[in-house]
Amino acid sequence: MPSSLSGRSGLAGCGEMKPPLLQLCNPRYLPTWIGLGVLRLLSLLPLPVLYRTGTVLGDLMQKVIPSRHHIAERNIRLCFPEKSSADVTAMVRENLRNTARMFLYTGFFWWASRARLDQAIRVSGSEVLDEALRDGRGVIILAPHFVGLELGGIYLSAGYQGVSVYQRSRNPVLDFFMLKSRQRFGAKLIERKSDMKRLVRAIRQGQPCYYLPDQDPGPRRAVFAPFFGIPTATWPVLGRLARLARAQVIPCTTCILADGKGLEMVFDSPLADFPTGNPADDAARMNRAVESCVRRFPLQYFWVHKRFKTRPSGSPDLYT
């Protein structure tokens, strides 16, 4: 597909996994229904309006949710020690605004028509993905947690018959709507807990996989690899998945454009000499690729997540 959503038709997904109607109508989920209704209304607004609203909401977040402000500030100070206090303060403020915009844009991602999405999206480097698919090898899109991350799965499903790994929500109402919205252009979704063979088979069949591996996996499943020079708990799955699927790994960044002018996806060159066969080396290579993306777009990364929560044995807590 070139640089829009108007490409090949999608592939029927893995089913919408509909929960029982009575479960969806349980009064305990009334707040979820109200929240979804608000998102649906927000989806009708122009992006510049949502963008400006995100500015106000992000500034409010600093006061109303100080814990997230603290996490973002701590992460940015750890990763950019060369920045002055004034620079860090400005970065945190704009990052929280972008985080608020991400939530306000959710309704747009979930309900916008293909034509409206096509008008809002810019794509850079789509020829990298096209060339990789022409080579006949599988493709894994390494997608760090940037504020426009919902965009990537939609783009791939609409134009490339893409497949995504899906984390089921404990809230059946939210789960139902997330699935329905992400599958509306034909996405194939595979649960994270599902057999990896299904995912490997899909990638080998030419379906690019949208994969987001850069959050803290906890101590039981992590390997520690450098991220901005800090030993960081890292999922060790990407190298193994690339080896089993015989796939190239292409980093991809998804960003919100200034002033509500839309969103941008940037595809980089495939990782060279990957996988190595060594889980620790593969995790380090993946983190270097993510770090490179973050350094280019530092205000768009999901800094409100405790990326350094799990520490090596004997290491201090970085968030106290």
> Is residue 90 scored above 70 in pLDDT?
yes
Q: Which residue carries 């996988």 as its tokens?
A: 275
Is residue 169 packed enough to be buried (19+ CB in 10 Å), middle (13-18) or exposed (0-12)? middle
- Helix, strand, or coil here: 228? coil
**What's the token pair of residue 49?**
């309006």
Confidence of residue 195 (pLDDT cuts 50, 70, 90): confident
**Which residues sit opposite 266 in a β-bridge?**
124, 253
Mean pLDDT of 283-308: 97
- List CB contacts of 291: < 8 A, sequence separation 6 or more: 227, 228
User: Is 73 among the domain residues?
Assistant: no
Mean pLDDT of 265-270: 96
Q: What is the pLDDT of residues 113-167, one digit of tens each?
A: 999 999 999 999 999 999 999 988 899 999 999 999 998 888 888 888 889 888 8
User: Is 309 among the domain residues?
Assistant: no
pLDDT computed for residue 15 by the predictor? 44
pLDDT computed for residue 24 by the predictor? 85
pLDDT computed for residue 22 by the predictor? 74
User: Is 6 among the domain residues?
Assistant: no
User: Is 85 among the domain residues?
Assistant: no
Domain around 200: 21-29+114-300
> Is residue 17 scored above 80 in pLDDT?
no
Mean pLDDT of 34-55: 96
pLDDT cut 90: percent of the chain above it: 74
Confidence of residue 193 (pLDDT cuts 50, 70, 90): confident
Confidence of residue 12 (pLDDT cuts 50, 70, 90): very low
**Which residues sit opposite 250 in a β-bridge?**
141
User: Is 141 among the domain residues?
Assistant: yes
**Residue 190: which H helix or E strand, with range?**
strand 188-191
User: Is 251 among the domain residues?
Assistant: yes
Residues 11/207, Cβ–Cβ less than 8 Å? yes
Peptide bond before 251: cis, by omega within 30 degrees of 0?
no
**What's the token pair of residue 295?**
């350094």
User: Is 205 among the domain residues?
Assistant: yes
pLDDT computed for residue 253 by the predictor? 97
Confidence of residue 3 (pLDDT cuts 50, 70, 90): low
> Which range has highest mean pLDDT (12-21, 34-43, 188-197)?
34-43
Q: How many domains does the chain have?
A: 1
Q: Encode the chain in three state secondary structure.
A: CCCCCCCCCCCCCCCCCCCCHHHHCCHHHHHHHHHHHHHHHHCCCCHHHHHHHHHHHHHHHHHHCHHHHHHHHHHHHHHCCCCCHHHHHHHHHHHHHHHHHHHHCHHHHHHCCHHHHHHHEEEECHHHHHHHHHCCCEEEEECCCECCHHHHHHHHHHHHCCEEEECCCCCHHHHHHHHHHHCCCCCEEEECCCCHHHHHHHHHCCCCEEECCCCCCCCCCCEEEEECCEEEEECCHHHHHHHHHCEEEEEEEEEECHHHCCEEEEECCCCCCCCCCCHHHHHHHHHHHHHHHHHHCHHHECCCCCCCCCCCCCCCCCCC
pLDDT computed for residue 4 by the predictor? 54
User: Is 109 among the domain residues?
Assistant: no
